[in-house]
Amino acid sequence: MSGRALLMWDEAVTQYDFGSEHPMDPVRLALTMSLVRAYGLDRAVDVVAAKPAGDSTLRLVHREDYVEAVRAASADPRHADQAYGLGTVDDPAFAGMHEVSALIAGQSVGAAEAVWRGEAEHAVNFAGGLHHAMPGAASGFCIYNDASLAIARLLELGAERVAYVDVDVHHGDGVQAAFWEDPRVLTVSLHEHPRTLFPQTGWPEETGPSGPGEGGAVNVALPAGTGDAGWLRAFHAVVPELIADFRPQVLVTQHGADTHFEDPLAHLAVSLDAQRAVQEACHELAHEYAGGRWVALGGGGYAVVDVVPRSWTHLVGIAAHAPVDPESVIPSSWRDEVYARTRQLGPGRMTDGRWPVAFRDWSEGYDPADRLDQAVLATRKAAFPLRGLLA
């Protein structure tokens, strides 16, 4: 297997644009790629563009009538059908929507193909991670579910065990739904509690249907306000043990940056430094249990200047085995570009000043009166025995 990493990138992905009033501003993608280049990481990875996902690939997950509805809305946004979740406040229709959504999906599918075939050890598509799209509907800023399509392609190529770990602040509901009954796929999602955040799913009791898929879904519903120490404690109390038991052939991870304390759409209080720590942990898990095969995706993130570019540049650096020093001063050329594009002042360093982040490991015991520990314990009690693990 090649030790090189791929960065999937096509400038046209920045055309995934719901309009100037929408929080998912595509400038976050452009600024991330610019920061990757500012650190020279584009020379530490192979930057490649895959072709858009064709209809046969999209139908691995999405219904044919839905794809046709997206195509119709793409050709004329006035024809958006809200029965398919199109033309809504969350998912406004725009010209070219089908083409750019298929392009983003194609990057994730191409990443999965390259990793499975041994053409690269790791592959990153930070434009991807659109995890809310359902087989027959758009949802939560997501048109095509590139994460599910990448996993479905891995299964089509012969993978028998694929683990998906989602650390976006929102529940990875679309990926969970796509593989709800498939024992070949383990989905694990850490997210803000559904009582306080869209999509109001991802309760610990959601563990898969009775039968072969039982225990195939694992959900950690974190209390609003959870910060670095709690977030890392929850991740390490759940994810490594599950991955060690499942021993996936490929690890697919989703790294939405909207857990950050500056994100305007959610209520966790996680720093960039904790996000970087989880990225490193996922990288280590891929090497320890998945033969190094790692597909890393972006996701949410609406602090589009201060947070998203730094978080995903760290992700690219980790995948490239060329990690960016958290204390490094961000090149002034990038900060100049930020101001030119947004009239905002960009951050000065690649840290929020919390590196390294400390947390108390679950093995040291838990406090039954602590809300974070209650959330972790609820997940372990609901899901672990179904997999033959101790709660």
> Catalytic residues, which ones?
132
Specify the DSSP class assigned to residue 348. S
> Amino acid identity of 118?
G
Distances in Å between the alpha carbon of 276 and those of 52, 255, 265, 316?
30, 10, 20, 11
* CB distance 267 to 192 below 8 Å: yes
* CB distance 60 to 149 below 8 Å: yes
How is residue 302 written in tokens? 């609406």
* CB distance 22 to 142 below 8 Å: no
Q: What is d(CA 13, CA 26) in angstroms, rounded to the nearest whole number?
A: 8
Q: What is d(CA 68, CA 273) in angstroms, rounded to the nearest whole number?
A: 42
The 3-class secondary structure across 231-267, one letter per residue, is HHHHHHHHHHHHHHHHCCCEEEEECCCCCECCCCCCC
Closest Cα to residue 286, out of 315, 264, 324, 309? Answer: 315
